């Protein structure tokens, strides 16, 4: 438990790969493909964990992880928002064929805690249609397909593991695919609210902030689980670590002699520096997680982006403005 507490916390496969070593250096069992969309100021990185060796190297299950990085994700730009929505929808469409599928969307998190309310807010803006197919038996619509959604809350509110609730729903309605939307934790401050991760490996709610929870995976639910998440928090040690790295860089740039302490810090690996900072901070702040002060507005924008991207994916024949009209 002590080793786990001192380990670098991140839900992003891209960051786990960066921690394992230089991203440009090949690791056995891991494949990384990066695409730069210069006109959109966006990077799309695909991390593939190919086998058990790759799984052990970055501590992520075998599967595919797509990371979309763009500063515009957290900014209130109408034009760029549409581009981001389409980029996310396009990546989702590459994962599988969504047509003629029954979909269940799970909005994970606590709606009363703003950084953790992403999942429930996304669910609130989805076009849910399963009830229409139930009411009009034999309905065959070329524009919409059966979509249902639920925000199961957290254990502190329900007294139940999320997987217990979701498993009951899955057994009852028998969806073809489950999509789980969740807030994540990052180890880089510049990735908070600017990054979207899509994974075909499912999700372990609360893992990034140190909670032990049973995962929502194909193994536990019996159907494929696609996870979509955005890092909304970092822990205090990450902020201090990033600040110290910038301080060291400035000292190296502005002076000829950096001193023994700085030289010692330079020789340390990222993991060693993080653990040292964590050990120093823990007696004073414990497992403190931090989110930007404008998180209320940002969560509203990001939840709208993800909901629109899901609506464009699950109802592919509906145009962007048509979806807007449906929800208004």
pLDDT tens for the 328 residues of the chain, in order: 444 444 567 899 999 999 888 877 889 999 999 999 988 899 999 999 999 999 999 999 999 999 999 999 988 777 789 999 999 999 999 998 898 899 999 999 999 999 999 999 999 999 999 988 878 776 666 678 899 999 999 888 899 999 999 999 999 999 999 999 999 999 888 999 999 999 999 997 655 455 556 899 999 999 999 999 999 998 887 778 777 777 777 777 666 655 666 677 667 777 777 777 778 777 777 777 889 999 999 999 999 999 999 999 999 888 888 888 887 6
Same domain, 170 and 254: no
Same domain, 315 and 224: yes
Same domain, 266 and 230: no
- Identify the CA nearest to 33 among candidates 51, 53, 62, 13: 13
pLDDT at 288: 78
- Identify the CA nearest to 193 among candidates 230, 235, 242, 237: 230
Same domain, 213 and 259: no
For residues 205-228, b (16+ Cβ closer than 10 Å) or e, as one string?
bbbbbeeebebbbbebbeebbbbb
Same domain, 270 and 317: no
Phi-psi region of 56 (alpha: psi -120 to 50; beta: other; left: phi over 0): alpha
What is the Cα–Cα distance from 85 to 65, expressed in whole angstroms?
A: 18
pLDDT at 19: 85
Same domain, 170 and 246: no
Same domain, 226 and 161: yes
pLDDT at 220: 95
* 80: containing domain: 2-238+287-327
pLDDT at 212: 56
CATH number at residue 317: 3.40.50.1450
Same domain, 158 and 266: no
Same domain, 261 and 221: no
pLDDT at 4: 44
Same domain, 170 and 304: yes
Same domain, 162 and 55: yes
Same domain, 243 and 315: no
Q: How many domains does the chain have?
A: 2
């Amino acid at each position: 438990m002590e080793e786990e507490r001192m380990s670098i916390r991140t839900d992003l496969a891209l960051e786990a790969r960066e921690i394992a070593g230089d991203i440009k250096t090949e690791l056995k069992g891991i494949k990384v493909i990066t695409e730069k969309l210069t006109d959109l100021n966006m990077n799309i990185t695909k991390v593939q964990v190919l086998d058990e060796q790759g799984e052990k190297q970055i501590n992520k299950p075998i599967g595919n992880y797509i990371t979309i990085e763009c500063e515009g994700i957290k900014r209130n730009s109408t034009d760029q928002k549409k581009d981001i929505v389409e980029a996310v929808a396009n990546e989702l469409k590459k994962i599988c064929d969504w047509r003629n599928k029954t979909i269940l969307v799970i909005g994970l998190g606590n709606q009363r805690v703003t950084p953790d309310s992403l999942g429930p807010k996304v669910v609130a803006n989805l076009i849910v249609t399963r009830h229409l197919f139930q009411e009009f038996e034999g309905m065959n619509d070329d524009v919409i397909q059966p979509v249902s959604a639920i925000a199961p809350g957290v254990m502190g509110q329900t007294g139940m593991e999320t997987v217990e609730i979701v498993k009951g729903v899955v057994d009852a309605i028998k969806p073809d695919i489950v999509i789980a939307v969740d807030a994540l934790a990052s180890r880089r401050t510049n990735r908070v609210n600017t990054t979207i991760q899509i994974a075909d490996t499912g999700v372990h709610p609360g893992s990034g902030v140190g909670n032990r929870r049973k995962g929502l995976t194909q193994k536990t639910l019996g159907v494929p689980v696609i996870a979509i998440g955005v890092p909304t928090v970092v822990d205090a040690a990450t902020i201090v670590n990033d600040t110290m790295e910038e301080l060291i860089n400035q000292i190296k740039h502005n002076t000829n002699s950096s001193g023994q302490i700085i030289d010692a810090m330079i020789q340390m690996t990222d993991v060693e520096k993080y653990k040292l900072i964590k050990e120093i901070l823990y007696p004073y702040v414990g497992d403190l997680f931090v989110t930007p002060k404008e998180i209320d507005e940002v969560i509203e924008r990001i939840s709208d982006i993800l909901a629109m991207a899901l609506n464009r994916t699950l109802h592919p024949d509906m145009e962007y403005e048509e979806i807007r009209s449906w929800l208004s």
